[in-house]
Amino acid sequence: MSEENGAPDREAPASVPAGMNADASTNGSPARKAEEFHRPPSRLEKLRARLEGMPRRRFYVGLILVIWASLTLLIGVDLRPFTPNPWTMFLGVGIVVATEMWVIWYFLERFGKKILRANALIRILLAASLLILFTALARVFVLLSLPPYLIPLAGLSILGTILLGPRLMFVMVVITSVNVGIIADSDFSLTSALLLTSGFAIYTVLRVGPRIELLRAGLLIALVSGIVMFAVALIGGGSLRSAAELGGIGLANGLLSLMLAMVLLPLLENAFNILTPQKLLELADTGNPLLQKLLRGAPGTFTHSMQVGELSRNAAERIGADSLLARVGAYYHDVGKLEHPNYFIENQISRMNPHATLTPVLSARIIKRHVKDGVYLGREWNLPQEVLAMIAEHHGTTRIEYFYRKALQDAVANSASVNETDFRYTGPRPKSKEAGILMLADSIEATVKSLEKPTPKRIRDIVSSTIRGKLEDGQFDECELTMHEIHETGEAILEALIGFIGPRIEYPEAPAEKAPPSPTP
C-alpha cells in the first residue's frame, strides 16, 4: 500500500467515493473537523489576494504614477520659508524622480526574473512602500529640525535586504540617499555618509538568521555609522570635537535604524507574506498551530513529515541549498492529508484500510487530492509562496505506482483498458533545489519505511532506484539541481537514513518462571 494518500474534491462533494463519510475522520464529522484546522482569511489577506488578481499592466502603471507623485511632493514640498520659485523646483525634482523611476524600471526589466521569483507583484509593492516610507521619514526629520545625519536610512537597508534581497535594495538605497540629500538642502556629504553606512548594512544583514543575530548585526552597523560620520565631519573641515559629536549622532543613527527595523520587520513580513529567515524559524517550530493540528489530526503524517524534514535538511546542507527552507517545506508538504487522515496508511494503525472498498481509479483520485488540499490549506494559514510551491511540487507528475499496477491487474482480468493519466499527479514538477530535495527525501523515506528489515544495502538500492526512476520519468527536467547535486542529495539521504535506523539489540525473551514445588504430604 502506498503512503501517498489524499482527500477528495472539496469543490465537488457529490463525487466523493462511497465510504468517505463522517466516519472517515478520526476526529468526527467533516463539518466539525473542518472547524478544527481550517482558518478564515484576514482582511489583510483578502486585500493582498485582490491586489494579486489585478491586471499587471494597469497595476504597474498606477504604482509608478503613485511613486512619482509621492516622491516629488515629499522631496519638493518644504513647509519652512517658502522658496521664491517653487514651480521650477518642482520641475527639477520631478525630472530627478522620473529618472530614478526609469533606473528602477530598467533594473527590474533586466534582473527582475532572477531576484523576484515569487510574489513579484507583492514584492514590488513592498519596495515602493519602503521607498516612500523612508523618504517621508527624512522629510519629517527635516521639518522637525532634527539633525539630518540622524535619519535612519540604514533601517531601510536592514529591512529591504531581509525582505527583498541585496541587489534590489542597493538600487533603492542609492536612490533614497540622493533624495535625502536633496531634502536636507542638497547636502551631498550626507548622501555620501548614508550611502556608506546603508551599503555596509546590506552586507552585514545578508545572512542573518535568528533575531539575536539581527541584534548583533545592528549593533555593528551602529558602530560603523558612528565611525563613518566622524570621518565625514573631518573631511568637511570640522574639529575633533565636532567630529566626535557627529560620530555620536551616527551611533544614534545606527541604533535608531536597528530599533526601527526590529519593530517593522515582523509587521511587514506578515502584511506582505514575505519569506525571511526569521519567519522560517517561526514556521520550523513544532509548536506552530498548523503543525499542532497535523500532530493531533494525523499523527502518522506528522512523524513522516518530521523525518523527511531532517533528511531534506541534511541533503540541502550537503549541496549548499537553503537547509532551513528545505526543512520547513518538508514539515508542511503533507498538510493536505488533514482532510481525511484515515485514507493515509501511516494513520491507519489498528483501523481498516478504506481503500479496500474503492476501485484503483477512485483511490488514485483521492491520493492526488492531498497536494491540492495542502496548497489550499497552506494559503488559509498564510504560508509563504516558497513553501506553497514545495507543497505543490513535491510529487511532480509522478505515477501512483501501487494503484496503477493494481488497475493493470484488474484490467487483465476484466479485459479493460487503463488510462495512465488517471494515476499521475497533476504537477507542477519541482523547480527549486529545495523542492527537488523534498521529492527525493519524501519518496525514499516512504519506501524505506515499508521495509520489514531495512539494511544499509537495501536502503542504498532504494536510493539508487528512486533517483534513476525520477530521472527517467523527467521529474527533474525543470529543476535547478545538477546531476552531481542529485547524486549528492541521494548520498546525504542515505547517510541520514542509516543513522536513523542504526543497529538494534534484540532483547531475549524473559525466561518462564519455575512453578513452586508442590508440598509433600
User: 441-471: b or e for each residue (b if 16 or more CB lie within 10 Å)?
Assistant: bbbbbbbbeeeeebeeeebeebbeebbeebe
Tell me if 1 sits within 8 A of 353, measured CB to CB: yes
CB atoms within 10 A of CB 81: 6
Residue-level pLDDT at 3? 44
Tell me if 214 sits within 8 A of 278, measured CB to CB: yes
Q: Taking the CA atoms of 409, 410, 415 and 416 in sequence, report the sign of the dihedral they define.
A: negative
CA distances, 100 to each of 74, 131, 165 (Å): 15, 11, 19
End-to-end CA distance of the chain: 63
CA distances, 472 to each of 408, 459, 466, 468 (Å): 21, 20, 10, 6
CA–CA gap between residue 132 and residue 358 (Å, rounded): 59
CA distances, 52 to each of 98, 119, 130, 217, 428 (Å): 26, 8, 19, 34, 20
Tell me if 198 sits within 8 A of 145, measured CB to CB: no
DSSP state of 355: G
Residue-level pLDDT at 22? 38
Q: Tell me: the pLDDT tens digits for 264-290?
A: 998 998 888 888 888 898 899 999 999
Residue 338: closest CA among 312, 371, 384: 371
- Residue 42 burial (C-beta neighbours within 10 Å; 0-12, 13-18, 19+): exposed
CA–CA gap between residue 322 and residue 315 (Å, rounded): 10
Residue-level pLDDT at 387? 95
Q: Which residues contact 136 (CB under 8 A, 6 or more apart)?
A: 74
Cell of 390: 514545495
- Residue 33 burial (C-beta neighbours within 10 Å; 0-12, 13-18, 19+): buried
CA–CA gap between residue 258 and residue 227 (Å, rounded): 17
Q: Which residues contact 150 (CB under 8 A, 6 or more apart)?
A: 141, 249, 252, 253, 256
Q: What is this structure's pTM? A: 0.80
CA–CA gap between residue 195 and residue 173 (Å, rounded): 7
What residues in the chain have per-residue pLDDT under 50?
1-19, 21-35, 521
Q: Which CATH architecture has domain 277-501?
A: Orthogonal Bundle (1.10)
Tell me if 214 sits within 8 A of 262, measured CB to CB: yes
Angle CA 21–27–31, to nearest 5: 55
Q: Where in the chain is the domain with CATH 1.10.3210?
A: 277-501
Residue 325: closest CA among 490, 158, 117, 508: 117
Residue-level pLDDT at 83? 56
Tell me if 168 sits within 8 A of 160, measured CB to CB: yes
